[in-house]
Amino acid sequence: MIDDISGIVAQKILDAGIIRSEDHDIYYYGLQLVVSTIIKVFGLIFIAVLFKKVIEAVIFLTVFGFMRINAGGLHLDTYMKCFIATAASMMLIIWAGSSIPSYLSFYIISVALAISFLLIIRYAPVDNPNRTLSKREHGIYRKRSIYAITIQIIIIVTAYFINIKLYRYCSIASLSVLFESLTLLPLASRCRQE
């Protein structure tokens, strides 16, 4: 479905003379990303609505997505596998973050963010199997990954200290960052290749 929609739209903009024929594949790939992202986000929000966890899902999607765009990570070979893995991970993280008692939240948040920072420093960015980063792009995304994790740490810690009642949301955010950081590990890529 995603391929069909992307192919039709790419062909229509080619036929309309908006793009050159040699750029067709680039636009087709870009459209695949846009269409799959829209479908995935709506699907994940739909699941969150069913479970009455919309705010938590938005936190997960924002934090995870912000790191993912900059750092990369494990990619599965089909859109459906990616959707199922993301949905399961989102619900697990929401459940885990919501289950942390307030007296442990500071320690969990601190450890999750510290491990995430170290993993980002060590492994980010990770190439996408569909597009390898050039040396220059690798440097750019490395800096962006470090900025992204730093910004997220500042926001999560600040929110926690401004209002301790936000600890569940901060826990979900920190676990979301940790989850994305774990997808950078070489072990994650090896598991996919086997």
Check the CA dihedral 67-73-78-81 and report its sign.
negative
Q: Model confidence over 152-180: pLDDT tens digits?
A: 999 999 999 999 899 999 999 999 999 99
Confidence label for 19 from pLDDT (cuts 50, 70 and 90): confident
Helix or strand run (H / E) with residue 53: none
Q: What is the pTM of this model?
A: 0.85
Contact criterion met (CB below 8 Å) for 63 and 113? no
Enumerate the H helices of the chain as residue ranges: 2-15, 24-50, 54-71, 79-99, 102-123, 135-162, 167-182, 186-193
Q: Model confidence over 99-146: pLDDT tens digits?
A: 999 999 999 999 999 999 999 999 999 987 666 888 999 999 999 999
